[in-house]
Structure 1
Amino acid sequence: MNPTESAAPTGADPGPSPRSGPEAPGRSRRAVLALAVLALAHFTISVDFNIVYIALPQIGDALGFSAASLQWVVTAFSLGYGGFLLLGGRAADRLGARRMLVSGAALMGAASVAGALAQDPAVLVASRALQGLGAAALFPATLAVLTAAFPAGPARIRAMAVWGTAGAFGALAGGAVGGILTSAFGWPAVFWALVPATLAVVLAAPVVLPADVRRPGRASFDLPGAAMVTAGSLLLVLGISLGQSVGWASWQSAGALLLGALTLVGLLLFERRAADPLLPVRLLTNRSLLVTMALVFVLMGSVNTLHYVYTTHVQVTLGLSPLAAGLGFLPQGLAAMLGSALLLPPLLARWGVRSALFAGVAGSGLTAVLFAVAVAADSYWAMLPAVVMLGVTAGTTYPVLFAAAGAGVSDDEQGVASAMVSTTQQIGAAVGLASLVAVADAAAGPASSGLGAAAVAGGLATLAAAFLALALRRTPAA
């Protein structure tokens, strides 16, 4: 996936593909359509994270959730997604990326219909878990297909920029979209809205995406490894979710985290001896992959905290309504789109992945400090520059992280490599938010000073982590 390195084509159609020869109009059109499908899939996954937040009060009142149980509407998605990402990534490598992409989108769509029609809490929570499971199959498949369909170099740089733009905008616009839909049509609309997008992916993918290539000797599937990686990931995500709701020192949270860690350690020992491992242990010796996982762990903890700082400050301190707060976050989504589409390609072409990643992560750290300054000013307009800068820096850095993660990883292991990074992203976001909210709570003085302290702490950690990018191998600019 590294835009500065060449890779052998995989998953190509029998006919001409985007990798072959000068681009004829038909091939160029097909490449555009393929990228549009991959971008739509990434957007759908990203928007599904945040679209339900503003609808939670309505959901609780309509379906009879208790105050303690309502958080499971969010947690269930995290469990399905974070718990099954590694399995979804390896399934994309073994069973075919396009096949898993279609299956994941179909499951997300069906679960969205079930959620919209839910009449009791259990059905809604189950539908959210199935949405997460579908996303766990869909996300790594999008990256595996992108690697197969676009050659390393300028073509993949452009594709990664569009793919990253769609994901960044979905993540950042989800709150606003959820607020608008809930205000206009009620809470079921946040589920119905995902159905047309997933249906479009299901119908278009078999037509415009490269066909899966059957790989000799890859028909077997490591069932014990699949069970262990899924159980370990589920326990870790569950432990983090329980830590946020009932406390990190509780036996439920600590026990789940300990069991999850022990299961994953056992997985590594088992996979070292497996003839055809689900999680190849050699990937853990890949410098680019390890550095990227460390970077995304710190970065997403800081970014997740800044979202918390923003929503808490503008609603609690400044008194904005949920809808106004959601709309106020839209400039970040626009900045992320423009940054990924216009800034990322020339940045990668001029500097290469290593320097671009250092600049992006360091810029995100400085943006966190800017948030702290804005919080002290007690005005949305004072916060707007920080909101825009977060869109530019984080939105531009996100696709570069996945480009760096794929360096030196073979095409038939891209799915599991991207799943490893995304699983680390989910864990880092949860751990970072919990840690920095604790910093906010411990800070003396008014609530705004606590939010500012959390932003500064996250920014300093991100600035320090940026230097990890310099451990990547230097590659020539495209």
Structure 2
Amino acid sequence: MPASPAAKPSGWMLLLLATAQLIIALDATIVFIALPEIGQELGFSAQQLQWVVSAYSVAFGGFLLLGGRASDLLGKRRFYIIGQALYALASLAGGLGGSALLLVLARAVQGVGGAMLFPATLALINSHYAEGPARNRAFAVWSAASAAGLALGALLGGVLTQWWGWEAVFLVNVPLAGACALLARRWIPADGRRARGRQFDLPGALSVTLGGTLLVFAIVQGPEWGWTAPATLGCLGLALALLGLFAWIEHRGRDPLMPLRLLRHRSLCMAMVQTALFMSSFGVQYYFLTLYFQQVYGYSVLNSGLAFLPSTLVCTFGIWLAERSLLRFGLRSTLVSGLLAGALGIGLVYLALPTGAGYWSLLPGVIVLSIGQGMTWTAMWVSAGQGIAAGEQGVAAGMASTSQQIGGALGLALLVSLANTVSVDGGLAYGLQLAVGVSALLALLGALLALSPQPAPAPVGAAQGN
């Protein structure tokens, strides 16, 4: 059965849910803007610097299914609070740690907090807002908060890093996440009673968490170790073995962590593919453009932050457009339109980068890309929760966001490796430009997959077997 609202949600509740996404988005762009200074001060190499981003992705991707299912079984509000609290504590540790190792560890704990927070937030939206216009509007507000977080992160990242140092980009999250954790008990309805007879699938949780974490770790570290190195192949082999064990446990389990029948749900599977491609195309732009602005154009961190401001503001228009397109043209048309706009926009940026004309030559592509980003982001999360039972919204969100994190880690690792390899012969600017061009092709692949005919979905409901 589709999710149905358990209680009439308040505006304050939607504010807290939107703020959760604002914090996650804010953290992403703030960190990207501060990367060059973090690398210089803490002694990261060009390849190691991505671990400031990827430590978060590894932990986030590895713990998402656990976080999503735990929120279903143990309480969505409860895991919203746990996620925000972990986020606040890890941000404090990251800002005060003062060493490369401590920063990477703090980013990993942030990832665990995000893995608790993100699926709980999505599940609360899908459980408390009826499928259709009400849920579309809630997702539009949630997505607009994401765009606001990107805009604030780009601007604050430059201001804070230039005036107070890179540590400030982590400390700014502490009061925001802490306040949300405290206010959730008042503004988010209490979790209902746990269903009797439900068990927590501990073997499944351990196998998928370890397997997912090792898989993302191997993908991120592969370019530095070498894809055929024994360490890389060993991590990949162990990860696949653990994920195979997880599938076997889920097939035989009475109350599985991830009911395998959800994989027969067409809309959820398409969302999983699209979230991976989204992060490998749209999601990597901040990383490569930040390096291009600062290391090729010679921008200060403040000017780099300001350079991203138009894109994140235009993204809000793309979110508004998505809400109306979903009502008028449907989910598939909205998703395809967003991905095509993104591919076109990234392609225009690729063509403009080597002209030497500077930022203004990039702006047309940035505008088209940002409209597509807003449309795609909203549509793919609507797709992930469509037709899923209320008691399985958390695990469905965990599945889609796991694909998002694995796609982002794989895309960033491969594109960083490509950029660094090509830069040896063609120079830094050419390597970064080529990585941007490949990301445009990934967005185009997403549009082609969304256009392809799909078989009719098998019925999905909470009462079915695995």
**TM-score normalised to the size of structure 2?**
0.89
Amino acid at match of 1:51: I
Match of 2:440 among 455, 459, 464: 459
Root-mean-square deviation (CA, aligned residues, Å) is 2.6
Separation (CA, whole Å) in 2 of partners of 1:171 and 1:110: 22
Task: Confirm whether residue 367 of structure 1 aligns to residue 345 of structure 2.
Answer: yes
- The alpha-carbon distance between structure 1 residues 110 and 450, as it changes in their structure 2 partners (threshold 3 A), is closer
Query: How far apart are 1:312 and its partner, in Å?
Result: 3.3
Q: Deviation per CA, 1:4-39, whole angstroms, max 9, x where unpaired?
A: xx9342543xxxx14xxxxxxxxxxx2x21111111
Residues 192-250 of structure 1 deviation map (CA, whole Å, 9 limit, x = unaligned): 20012112211221222222122423542111011001101110111122124433333
Tell which deviates more after alignment, 317-326 or 389-398. Answer: 317-326
1:218–1:452 distance in 2 versus 1, CA, 3 Å = farther
Within the alignment, does 1:260 sit opposite 2:255 as a pair? no
Secondary structure of the structure 2 residue equivalent to 1:304: coil
Q: Give the structure 1 partner of residue 28 of structure 2.
A: 49
Q: What is the CA–CA distance in structure 2 between the aligned matches of 1:388 and 1:211, rounded to whole Å?
A: 41
1:391-435 Cα shifts (integer Å, max 9, x gaps): 211122112101111223211111111111111111212222343
* Deviation for aligned residue 1:180: 1.4
Q: Does residue 1:468 correspond to 2:449, yes or no?
A: yes
Number of the residue aligned with 1:302: 281
User: Identity of paired residues, percent?
Assistant: 43
Whether contact under 8 Å (2:208, 2:246) holds in the other structure is yes
* 1:7 aligned partner, one-letter code: P
Does structure 2 retain, via aligned residues, the 8 Å contact 1:354–1:473? Answer: no
Tell me the SS of whatever aligns to 1:51.
helix
What residue is the counterpart of 2:217 in the other structure? Answer: 238
**Aligned pairs for 1:49-448 within 5 A:** 49-56=28-35, 59=38, 65=43, 67=45, 71-171=50-150, 173-217=152-196, 219-340=198-319, 342-378=320-356, 379-437=358-416, 440=419, 441-442=421-422, 447-448=428-429
CA distance in 1, matches of 2:455, 2:322: 19
Say whether the 8 Å CA contact 1:109–1:195 is kept in structure 2: yes
Output one character per residue of 1:65-116: Cα deviation in whole Å (capped at 9) or x when no partner. Answer: 5648665443332222121111101111111111100111011112222223
Following superposition, the deviation at residue 387 of structure 1 comes to 1.8
Aligned length: 452
CA distance in 1, matches of 2:49, 2:286: 20
Structure 1, 84-93 or 211-220: larger mean CA deviation: 211-220
Question: Counterpart amino acid of 2:119?
Answer: P
The aligned counterpart of 2:4 is: 9
Q: Against the structure 1 CA distance between its residues 472 and 214, is the aligned structure 2 distance closer, same or farther, given a 3 Å change threshold?
A: farther
Evaluate the alpha carbon distance shift between residue 472 and residue 413 of structure 1 in structure 2; reply closer, same or farther with a 3 A threshold: farther
Give the aligned residue type for 1:351: F
Whole-Å separation in 2 of the counterparts to 1:395 and 1:89: 24
Letter in 2 for 1:428: G
- For 2:454 and 2:83, how far apart are their aligned partners in 1? 33
Query: Distance between the aligned counterparts of 2:310 and 2:418, measured in 1?
Result: 28
Question: 2: CA distance between counterparts of 1:39 and 1:472?
Answer: 32
Q: Which residue of 2 aligns with 1:21?
A: none
AA at the equivalent of 1:170: G
> Tell me, what secondary structure is at the counterpart of 2:31?
coil
Retained in 2: the 8 A contact 1:89–1:418? yes
Separation of aligned partners in 1, 2:374 and 2:131: 21
Q: Which runs of 5+ in 1 are unaligned?
A: 1-5, 19-29
Distance 1:369 1:178, change over 3 A: same
Cα displacement string for residues 286-342 of structure 1 (whole angstroms, at most 9, x for unaligned residues): 1111112122222321123433442233223322223212210111111112321x3
Offset of residue 439 of structure 1: 5.1
Q: What is the TM-score of this pair, normalised by structure 1? A: 0.87
Cα shift at 1:377: 2.4
Mapped contact 2:86–2:109 kept (Cα < 8 A): yes
Contact 1:92 1:415 in 2 (8 A): yes
Asked if the contact 1:305–1:437 (Cα under 8 Å) also holds between the matched residues in 2, the reply is no
Q: How much does 1:158 deviate?
A: 1.0
